[in-house]
Structure 1
Amino acid sequence: MSFYQQIQGGFMLDSLKQAGKNIGRELNRAWESLSDGWRELLSRCSNALVHYERDDYPDQEIAFPHWGIMAVELEETATELIVRVEMPGVEKENCSIQVIGNTLFIRGEKRSVRETPSSNFYVVERAYGAFERTVTLPKNVDSEKAQASYVNGVLTIRLPKAVSETIRSIPVE
């Protein structure tokens, strides 16, 4: 019996159809699982933009300061880097700024304000607690001359660029 006759007889054709169905079924399951995973991830991420819930693990809280996303802008001019950070509701006294190497560290705490201790909340979408944000600086800066201001919930940090080192060739004698 020739190859063509086997295909016409249906044996190989049925086997190929069955294999195709099996592959299709497995691909469909994999796709559904992947889709469910993406939906869950997107749901968690969108919630993280506006709300942070503390875990019941106090040791982890100390090791990893958490807060919602603080939007950052990093602008470069001819003489300085300007970093703007949105931090609405944070008192400037509860914020610290540090430059180590080429990394800017912004740390602080947003405290919860509860006007009536016996009240109940039905919706809580605001984030409270300790936070830390790091920004990698693209240039070396002179941190001794840095200045910071906080107006209308926006922290602005001005970091003068470090004077570039002169490159000098040294002849070998």
Structure 2
Amino acid sequence: MRKVLVSACLMGRRVRYDGRAKPVDDAAVERWRREGRLVVHCPEISGGLPVPRPPAEIEPGADAADVLAGRARILTPEGVDVTEHFVFGARSALATARAHGVAVALLKQSSPSCGSREVYDGTFSGGKVPGEGVTAHLLREHGIAVLDEDQVAEAARLLAEVESTDGHATPPGQGLTTS
């Protein structure tokens, strides 16, 4: 049975920078929970950041690939460099995904870690730009499909497609995997 890596905040855990959660309410996610497919993970927490914490954004004009290559930083509004935490958290998410046989990741949109289609623009003005966070980028580089909370149906389709081609069966659920 293939697993789904899911942002902890989407599962109701209060791990976001502001101490809140952004739970996703979807029948497919609930089914995956019952089937024991969910691997709940917060790269920012696994990277050593506290809750609550200051917001952070990738520097203007840079992207996740630049951050992972050491050419750009992730900063707080006060200019504190938290890049190391985000990179460590991305690597932790990849290790967790590999250890659990994850095929698909369902991550929180816009985050400098988890954004899969857009991220904040680095100005702390609320503006967004097309791009992805460092965790989303690293997972994609290693063959894991990355989608956001508005793409659950697409995630379910991809998961079914992967399982139909790799022969993993879908046994009844065993609970929730966390890391």
Shorter-chain TM band: under 0.3
Normalised by the size of structure 2, how large is the TM-score? 0.23
Normalised by the size of structure 1, how large is the TM-score? 0.24
Larger RCO (CA under 8 A, 6+ residues apart): 2
Larger relative strand fraction: 1
- Pick the structure with greater CA Rg: 1
